[in-house]
Structure 1
């Protein structure tokens, strides 16, 4: 159920900015409450999850930093972490399978293909017929391959919107720093078009750090005069590697997010290295969005990247780009990771966005 009233737990300067966007019908707040008791239990569980994730990430960062004195040991540790992360053997929380699906299940009328890719050896594709193509980049802080939860989430998204989704791999930092990742995506997009897929039938999608990669690639394509896709969908987008948004501070010192500025700064440093943090290709909040395709942004008020989402919507309004921001009162970062009423609402809005922007007559 959607509500126009704001809860009292978030009282920051962002309220006035959101009010301006909402008045212009560019932003909308959603609530997925299922009763007071259930909502309170969900928030309590989310706070517990956040603390477990936070402590686990900090512990792993400390372990990784202790290996930096020995290059061979550091390389072995990174390889171990990536393999375990991709397989699900190393997760910050126990693996979750969405209700209605069993391990290995696929949406109806789909074909799942594994193709060789430069990231972790697999490129997962969830194929739907007579619907748009979606190229998806999963976030991993620029340094990790997609986690099992992200793969499961993409599977549920494909089922919900009845579209073909291909998870696009990219080279990882710090071995391959910026701009390797957006360059990989550009190459994949152009190759996809060369194979006969028309840009007006292609959508780009990403979560968290994947948003920086996709939007960086979009700018490269625009500068090269390539045909741009029909639209872009972003979940909890990380679009400001300078960490200048107020939400980076407020969520880091509260229990609202499982992530802290230290972890974000660590990942950004490994990815950018000598590149300025305000480079528009890495931090799209500093980009000119004129001429971009329509963008749908989904996030939650508790997200550490919440201000990034607001700034992208504000910039879109400034530059004449069709940007829509939908945000939830969910207590979780990247709420679509787990099956829930809020996730179902999110996927429903994605389906509406695709139907609005897609031009099937050109197929």
Structure 2
């Protein structure tokens, strides 16, 4: 049996079906291209999110952005998770990330989650998103949390921002978070990784075009895309906390995860890299619909459980 055929057998039937459905939708000329380049997302109007039973949601207005504090009605955990959403630095907060917050809270046995709707490009290019992430992290410290009680998680652009935030905190001698979770992180805005070529035809969300979010330079603006606070791959990971990185093998951004994990490990960081065979960008959004997304969230739960409550 050919190696590729054997690997495909490692992908669930549900995973293959969902991947092919995404590929079918994004291959449609008009709608598909708007999905790939983020235009549809920027225009998307979502219904009001219904807060699940047993949770409380508090909206927090900062000077230049907004945050949402989600916590169980009976909150017993002394840990907290800071969530940085994806969207190519051009997409704002979505209901999907509010659902992520619920899962993170449950995995943390009642841990509150702070999700920030940071400023995005083109109106607000770098360093706006990083500034807002730093502001939110410092807000948690001012609220009484220590770095050892804070986990930071993000997907796609948010996954890269998780690392940029940690680099910034370390470089400015501030308390670092206890651990990082990065799902399909965008860590190389130069698009120089091998998988940008090898997965160009395979990636169902970004493939077969360069008019897509991962080639968008609106966030970079006039800055050097190799700036580590923009592309963490080109930075130093010394003294970083443990990281869990999840990525799909079909992603054009596969190299962004693989190369960061390799570099961080060489600099003494504890890194768990899991490449999910046959999976696409941020496949965790499928939640319970396929074995791979269920496994990914269980893995995230095991990682979170490593950081015990202090009480």
State the TM-score bracket (shorter-chain normalisation). 0.7 to 0.9
* Alpha-carbon distance change, 121 to 86 in structure 1, aligned in 2, over 3 angstroms: farther
Q: Which residue of 2 aligns with 1:331?
A: 279
The answer on whether the counterparts of 1:239 and 1:285 sit within 8 Å (CA) in structure 2 is yes
Name structure 2 gaps, 5 residues minimum. none
Q: Could you tell me which residue of structure 1 aligns to residue 305 of structure 2?
A: 355
Q: Is residue 2:90 matched to residue 1:143?
A: yes
**Structure-2 change in CA distance of 1:274 and 1:81 (3 Å):** same
1:262 paired to 2:211: yes
Q: In 1, distance between residues paired with 2:123 and 2:2?
A: 44
Matching residue within 77, 87, 103 for 1:130: 77
**Is residue 54–residue 258 contact of structure 1 (8 Å, CA) maintained in 2?**
no
Q: Is contact 2:36–2:213 with CA below 8 Å preserved after alignment?
A: no
After superposition, the C-alpha distances for 1:46-75 in whole angstroms (9 at most, x for unaligned) are 2231231354352468896xxxxxxxxxxx
Helix, strand or coil: the match of 2:83? strand
Summarize the Cα distance change of 1:240–1:266 in structure 2 as closer, same or farther, 3 Å threshold. Answer: closer
- The 8 Å contact of residues 15 and 278 in structure 2, kept in 1 or not, is answered as no
Q: Secondary structure at the match of 1:262?
A: coil
Q: Which residue of 1 aligns with 2:52?
A: 106
Partner of 1:320: 268
Equivalent residue, structure 2, for 1:166: 114
Q: Deviations over 1:290-344 (max 9, x none)?
A: 0111110011111221111111110111111111101212433211101232222
Q: Distance in 1 between matches of 2:158 and 2:262?
A: 20
Distance 1:61 1:45 in 2: 17
Q: What is the rounded CA distance, in whole Å, between the counterparts of 1:196 and 1:298 in structure 2?
A: 30
Distance 1:150-1:191 versus aligned 2 partners, 3 A rule: closer
User: What does residue 253 of structure 1 align with?
Assistant: 201
The structure-2 alpha-carbon separation of the partners of 1:7 and 1:122, relative to structure 1 and needing over 3 Å to count, comes to farther
**How many residues of Structure 1 are paired with residues of Structure 2 in the alignment?**
301
The answer to whether 1:49 aligns with 2:22 is: yes
Name the counterpart of 2:4: 8
Deviation of 1:262 (Å): 2.8
* TM-score computed with the length of structure 2 as normaliser: 0.85
Structure 1 length-normalised TM:
0.74
Q: Tell whether the 8 Å contact from 1:200 to 1:359 is kept in structure 2 after alignment.
A: no
Of residues 225, 229, 242 in structure 2, which corresponds to 1:294? 242
Q: 1:115 aligns with which of 43, 60, 63?
A: 60
Q: Deviations over 1:15-44 (max 9, x none)?
A: xxxxxxxxxxxxxxx9563xxxxx1x6414
Tell me by how many angstroms 1:192 deviates: 1.2
8 Å Cα contact 2:233/2:260 also seen in 1: yes
Contact 1:251 1:257 in 2 (8 A): no
Q: CA RMSD in A?
A: 3.0
Equivalent-residue separation in structure 1 for 2:64 and 2:251 (angstroms)? 27
How far apart, CA to CA, are the structure 2 residues paired with 1:222 and 1:247?
A: 30
In structure 2, which of residues 269, 293, 307 is the aligned counterpart of residue 343 of structure 1? 293
Could you say what secondary structure the match of 1:200 adopts? helix
Would the aligned equivalents of 1:212 and 1:284 in 2 still touch at CA under 8 Å?
yes
1:86·1:148 contact (CA, 8 Å) conserved in 2?
no
- Does the Cα contact within 8 Å between 1:241 and 1:277 map onto a contact in 2? yes
Name the structure with the higher helix share: 1
Preserved CA contact (<8 Å) 1:119 1:145: no
2:33 to 41, 45, 58: 58
Assess, with a 3 A threshold, how the Cα gap between structure 1 residues 50 and 156 changes in structure 2: closer, same or farther.
farther
Partner of 2:251: 303
Return the offset for 1:134. Answer: 0.3
When structure 1 is superposed on structure 2, of 321-330 and 54-63 the one drifting more is 54-63
The aligned counterpart of 1:233 is 181
CA offsets, 1:137-191, max 9 Å, x none? 1101101112333332332333234232211221111111111111111111112
Larger radius of gyration: 1
Measure the CA separation in 2 of the matches of 1:359 and 1:121. 29
